[in-house]
């Protein structure tokens, strides 16, 4: 048993933090915040290319594909630190599609895509959700017709974040409408977002950043962009979702540290806020839950490093961590009181308006990548064997 990083891991952690701090620019930090922490903007690409050059974007990948053959613990640790230090931490190509390609893609596909992904050169956008297919992805119907040497795509996608800044669409399509079980007619493909016939329109979220509605009209996709086999896409999609279902708390852990510092420095009625019993209880409780999340998070890495595949544990970590983001931001808003509502560029704004911004952002964390309800279904059914 051992619940700490090894000496080498700790040293590596410091190296990563130092590098990030050295390479971070105010422009990059601002861009990351404005975009909701996704990857693909010009400033983010600059720093991520440097990080990728060190092998830190995809550390667990084999060396031939631009990885370091490193452990999952190391990989999880880097992602946590990236979040904590204000870098983008949602990577579709490197952390969701890439691992799925490694598992299910052909040799040609691996050669064509993995080096470009691990070097930070390309980013994908997640293309699952449609107006009628949210939690129930088997209901998706963007049609891909087999035209011999290519597929022809027609249909709509909704809430496909990153499409406006990413390069390719990691797209789930329907290749068979006649199967009795709808999930058996789905395929996955990689589509160039600059293809003629694709229209990307903004949808602005309550947190201010953007997601998209995407319309496909007679879009041609080369056959070699099909992932794995036709009509097996739902398995690949599920695998990619499993890779997505882990939530590095970093950015919210950082916010918590800043709220603690605020409580210590802010004097009300001649006493720091941090000496008020109720505030102490609330902040202590959050720090406990952050520790719980740390254990759940690295448990996933531990299971992977042992050669296993996390079962319900990913859903548990994702749910616990994302629900915690809402408790952290809510306590933060309460502690800041009337100041909490002031936006970054307002006179008297505290903590650069971060608390209200993350308070807004936290709402969606328990919805994307499978809602908390879907995760609880998985925990009960996969974890405890209750009837589906």
Partner 1 sequence: MDYDFNEEQELLKNAAKGFLSKECKPLFVREMEEDTKGITDELWQKMAELGWMGLMFPEQCGGVGGSYLDLIVLLTEMGYSCLPGPFFSTVVLAGTTIMESENEEMKQKLLPEIAEGKMFVTLALTETTAGYSPDMISVKAQKDGNDFIINGTKLFVPDAHIANQIICVARTKEGEKKEDGITLFLVDANSKGIEVTSLKTFAGDKMGEVVFNNVNVSNTNVLGEIDKGWSIIKKVLQKASIGKCAEMVGGGQRALELVLEQATEREQFGVKVGSFQAVQHHCANILTYLDTSRLMTRQAAWRISEGLPCEREVSMTKAWVSDSCRNLIALSHQSVGGTGFMEEHDLQLYFRRTKAAGVYFGDADYHREIVADAIGL
* Site for partner 1, rule CB under 8 A: 1-5, 73, 260, 263-264, 274-275, 277, 279-281, 283-285, 287-289, 291-292, 295-296, 298-299, 301-302, 305, 312-313, 316, 319-320, 373, 375-377, 379-381, 383-387
In sequence order, what are the residues at sequence separation of 6 or more whose Cβ sits closer than 8 angstroms to the Cβ of residue 191?
A: 127, 153, 168, 169, 171, 198, 219, 221, 225
Task: Quote the least distance from Cβ 93 to ligand FAD, whole Å.
Answer: 13
Among partner 1, ligand FAD, none, what binds residue 211 when CB lies within 5 to 8 Å by partner kind? ligand FAD
Contact 385, 370 (CB under 8 A): no
Region from 75-83, 248-256, 314-322, 368-376 binding ligand FAD, contact rule CB under 6 A: 368-376
Of the residues 65, 128, 236, 262, which one makes contact with ligand FAD according to CB under 6 A: 128
Q: Does 377 bind ligand FAD (CB under 6 A)?
A: yes
Nearby residues of 64 by Cβ (< 8 Å), 6 or more positions away: none
| Pairing assessment for the beta strands 150-158 and 210-222 based on DSSP bridges | antiparallel
Taking the CA atoms of the chain, what radius of gyration do you get in angstroms?
22
> Which entry of 80, 244, 317, 356 is annotated as an active-site residue?
244
How many chain residues interact with ligand FAD (CB under 6 A)? 18
| Backbone φ, ψ for residue 148 (5° rounding) | 85, -85
Instruction: Note whether 166 and 185 are within 8 A (CB).
Output: no
For partner 1, the closer of residues 45 and 245 by Cβ is 245
Report the distance separating Cα 139 and Cα 136, nearest Å. Answer: 6
Regarding 24 and contact with ligand FAD (CB under 6 A), the answer is: no
Half-sphere exposure for 300 (CA within 13 Å, toward CB): 24
Nearest to 41 by CA among 167, 201, 212, 200: 167
Confirm or reject binding of residue 363 to ligand FAD (CB under 6 A).
no
- By CB under 6 A, tell whether 341 contacts ligand FAD: no
Q: Which stretch binds ligand FAD (CB under 6 A): 190-198, 253-261, 351-359, 371-379?
A: 371-379
Residue 373 found at the interface with ligand FAD (CB under 6 A): yes
- Residue 135's binding partner among partner 1, ligand FAD, none (Cβ under 5 to 8 angstroms by kind) is ligand FAD
Is residue 266 at the binding interface for ligand FAD, with CB under 6 A as the rule?
no
Helix boundaries (H) for 203-350: 233-244, 250-265, 277-305, 313-336
Residue 129 interacts, among partner 1, ligand FAD, none and using kind-specific CB cut-offs from 5 to 8 Å, with ligand FAD
Taking a C-beta distance cutoff of 8 angstroms, is the pair 336, 355 a contact? yes
Nearest approach in angstroms of CB 350 to partner 1 is 18
Q: Which is nearer to ligand FAD, 29 or 368 (CB)?
A: 368
Q: Give the shortest CB-132-to-ligand FAD separation in angstroms.
A: 9
Q: Annotated catalytic, 244?
A: yes
The answer to whether residue 358 forms part of the interface with ligand FAD (CB under 6 A) is no
In angstroms, rounded to a whole number, what is the distance separating the alpha carbons of residues 124 and 93?
Answer: 5
With 0-12 / 13-18 / 19 or more C-beta atoms within 10 angstroms meaning exposed / middle / buried, residue 218 is exposed
CA 25 to CA 379: how far, in whole Å? 41
368: partner contacted, choices ligand FAD, partner 1, none (Cβ within 5-8 A by kind) = ligand FAD
Instruction: Print the binding letters for residues 183-212 with ligand FAD: x by CB under 6 A, - otherwise.
Output: ----------------------x-----x-
3-state per-residue secondary structure call for 135-174: CCHHHCCCEEEECCCEEEEEEEEECCCCCCCCCEEEEEEE
**Catalytic positions:** 244
């Amino acid at each position: 048993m051992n619940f700490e990083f090894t000496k080498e891991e700790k040293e590596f952690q410091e190296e990563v933090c130092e590098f990030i701090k050295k390479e971070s620019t105010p422009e990059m930090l601002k861009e990351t915040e404005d975009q909701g922490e996704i990857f693909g903007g010009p400033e983010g690409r600059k720093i991520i290319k440097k990080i990728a050059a060190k092998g830190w974007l995809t550390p667990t990948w084999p060396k031939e594909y631009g990885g370091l053959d490193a452990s999952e613990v190391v990989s999880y640790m880097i992602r946590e630190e990236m979040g904590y230090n204000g870098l983008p931490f949602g990577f579709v190509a490197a952390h969701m599609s890439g691992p799925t390609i490694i598992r299910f893609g052909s040799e040609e596909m691996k050669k064509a895509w993995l080096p470009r992904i691990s070097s930070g050169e390309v980013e994908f956008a997640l293309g699952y959700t449609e107006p009628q297919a949210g939690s129930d992805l088997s209901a998706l119907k963007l049609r891909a017709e087999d035209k011999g040497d290519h597929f022809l795509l027609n249909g709509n996608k909704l809430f496909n974040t990153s499409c406006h800044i990413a390069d390719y669409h990691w797209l789930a399509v329907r290749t068979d409408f006649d199967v009795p079980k709808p999930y058996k007619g789905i395929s996955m493909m990689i589509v160039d977002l600059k293809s003629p016939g694709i229209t990307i329109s903004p949808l602005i979220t309550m947190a201010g950043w953007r997601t998209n509605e995407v319309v496909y009209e007679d879009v041609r996709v080369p056959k070699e962009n099909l992932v794995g086999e036709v009509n097996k896409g739902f398995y690949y999609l599920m695998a990619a979702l499993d890779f997505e279902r882990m939530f590095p708390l970093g950015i919210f852990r950082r916010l918590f540290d800043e709220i603690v510092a605020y409580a210590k420095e802010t004097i009300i009625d001649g006493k720091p806020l941090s000496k008020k019993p109720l505030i102490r209880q609330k902040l202590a409780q959050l720090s406990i839950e952050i520790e719980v999340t740390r254990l759940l998070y690295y448990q996933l890495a531990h299971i992977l490093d042992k050669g296993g595949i996390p079962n319900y544990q990913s859903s548990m970590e994702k749910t616990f961590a994302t629900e915690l983001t809402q408790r952290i931001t809510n306590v933060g808003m309460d502690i800041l009181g009337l100041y909490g509502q002031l936006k970054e560029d307002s006179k008297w704004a505290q903590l650069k308006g971060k608390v209200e911004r993350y308070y807004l952002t936290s709402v969606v964390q328990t919805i994307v990548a499978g809602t908390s309800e879907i995760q609880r279904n998985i925990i009960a059914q996969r974890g405890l064997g209750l009837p589906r």
